[in-house]
Amino acid sequence: MVASSAILSSYLPPLQLGTEKGGPTTPSISFPLGKRFARTRLSLVVKSTTNSDGEIDGDENKVLVKDDGDSSFKPFGFVNDNPSSRSAIQLPASPAEDGNVGEMLYRIEDKGKEFGFFIESGIYRWFVRETGSSETSRGTILFIHGAPTQSYSYRVVMSQMADSGFHCFAPDWIGFGFSDRPQPGYKFNYTEKEYHEELDKLLEVLNIKSPFCLVVQGFLVGTYGLTWALKNSSKISKLIVLNSPLSVSSSLPGLFKQLRFPLLGEFTCQNAIMAERFIEAGSAYSLKMEKADVYRLPYLSSGAPGFALLDATRKANFKDIYSRVAMGFSEGRWEKPMLVAWGLSDKYLPQSEAEEFKKTNPNFVNLKLIEGAGHMPQEDWPEKVVEALQEFL
């Protein structure tokens, strides 16, 4: 114990002792950790009392503990609530305590909520954007985003379509954007079936009357919008698809391949700039900083959205989903007006995919090629998307 005490003392500043009358002495200790750790107080607890001479007995019982006054239930307490961890110096894990990340969060935390509100649906809280009026005579449009993005991508299109007389909604899927991010395995498992069920509940809460126009874009949860449409064709008047996988041979972007790989996926999903990099890699343009901030915010503020994306990606059977989409919208199976508005500069999905898809159902599928737009035409060139929607609707 002498050696241990010597090692410990070499790292600790002098102790300031204070004795309460008739009680034990608890030396407190302050570490020069700087501003970012100012909220963490460490105490050197001595499991003994003072003797008659005012000296401390029991040096061998000294243990460093963190005193933050937090007695809340911690379901994963077994990770750090053990003798080894309790005797270690605990530093704050909150991003807001970090000088760099914290300042970034404070700067961008209120961005990206245009036209939005929170609404309870079932046991979850969704973030939903709404433009236009329920009194409109031109109908309702529901916009569905893909992974790893959010409804923010539709903000300009929604605003301009509202000016044209449409009532527009765009939710953030559960686990994405500003909506709830339940822990995988606890009530929500990020499966296609559960996403469909929760979307049904949300439509009821929002009082969206059928039939309505559905707009979908992107991978994974965007494709779940298409599979939902196949199961609920009676609720849809017209369907618009923006750059989404439409064939069995659709390639999977590198991001999703990394997420499906053991261990690598766990690291990849916690990359705060993952979403903005995915968007830029699929387009001919770079995002302006104010836009990149919004796509980054969910992944920067918490690890939960990353793990939600990880779980949803690993639960998805992409080949089966793409097969159902290709077959479900083919001739003789889908008989509702459908527009495929395709950004020609998409780096993930080629133009040929849209052209081949039209051939499978030429009587009901219309194709509009959008020059200059990439994988997310609603973000790259929203004015051209609005023009295509207005012509089709």
C-alpha distances (whole Å) from 5 to each of 1, 27, 61, 349, 383 are: 6, 15, 11, 63, 70
Task: Give residue 102's pLDDT.
Answer: 56
Structure tokens at 107: 């700067």
pLDDT digits (tens, 9 = 90+) for 141-183: 999 999 999 999 999 999 999 999 999 999 999 999 999 999 9
Task: Give residue 328's pLDDT.
Answer: 98
pTM beyond 0.85: the answer is: no
For helices 318-328 and 221-231, angle between their N-to-C axes, nearest 10 degrees:
40
Q: What is the rounded CA–CA span in Å between residue 303 and residue 237? A: 38
Amino acid present at 188? F
Range list for CATH 3.40.50.1820 in the chain: 102-392
Q: What is the rounded CA–CA span in Å between residue 342 and residue 373? A: 8
Amino acid present at 285? Y
Q: Which residues lie below 8 Å from residue 388, measured CB to CB, with a gap of 6+?
A: 240, 339, 341, 368, 370
C-alpha distances (whole Å) from 206 to each of 126, 133, 175, 311 are: 11, 13, 19, 27
Q: Residue 169 forms beta bridges with which residues? A: 130, 142
pLDDT digits (tens, 9 = 90+) for 82-114: 444 444 444 444 444 444 555 666 577 778 899
Alpha-carbon torsion 148, 150, 154, 155, what sign? negative
Instruction: Tell the residue number behind the tokens 């766990």, with chain if given.
Output: 266
Q: Which residues lie below 8 Å from residue 199, measured CB to CB, with a gap of 6+?
A: 171, 228
Instruction: Tell the residue number behind the tokens 């044209």, with chain if given.
Output: 164
Structure tokens at 194: 């559960």
pLDDT top residue among 9 and 344: 344
* Average pLDDT of every residue of the chain: 82
pLDDT digits (tens, 9 = 90+) for 6-65: 444 444 444 444 444 444 444 444 444 444 434 444 443 444 444 444 444 444 443 333
SS3 annotation, 226-290:
HHHHHHCHHHEEEEEEECCCCCCCCCCCHHHHHHHCCCHHHHHCCCCCHHHHHHHHCCCCCCCHH
DSSP 12: S
- HSE on the CB side for 37, CA within 13 Å? 14
| Contact assessment for residue 287 and residue 281, using Cβ atoms and an 8 Å cutoff | no
Q: What is the rounded CA–CA span in Å between residue 121 and residue 62? A: 51
pLDDT band at 301 (very low <50, low <70, confident <90, very high): confident
Q: Which CATH architecture has domain 102-392?
A: 3-Layer(aba) Sandwich (3.40)
| Contact assessment for residue 241 and residue 339, using Cβ atoms and an 8 Å cutoff | yes
Scored b (16 or more CB within 10 A) or e, 345-354 reads bbebbeeebb
- Indicate the burial class of 255 (C-beta count within 10 angstroms; 0-12, 13-18, 19 or more): buried
- HSE on the CB side for 305, CA within 13 Å? 24
Least confident range of 55-69, 90-104, 229-243, 249-263: 55-69
pLDDT digits (tens, 9 = 90+) for 177-196: 999 999 988 889 999 999 99
- Indicate the burial class of 70 (C-beta count within 10 angstroms; 0-12, 13-18, 19 or more): exposed
Of 227, 228, 116, 229, the C-alpha closest to 177 is 116
Of 107, 125, 148, the C-alpha closest to 275 is 148
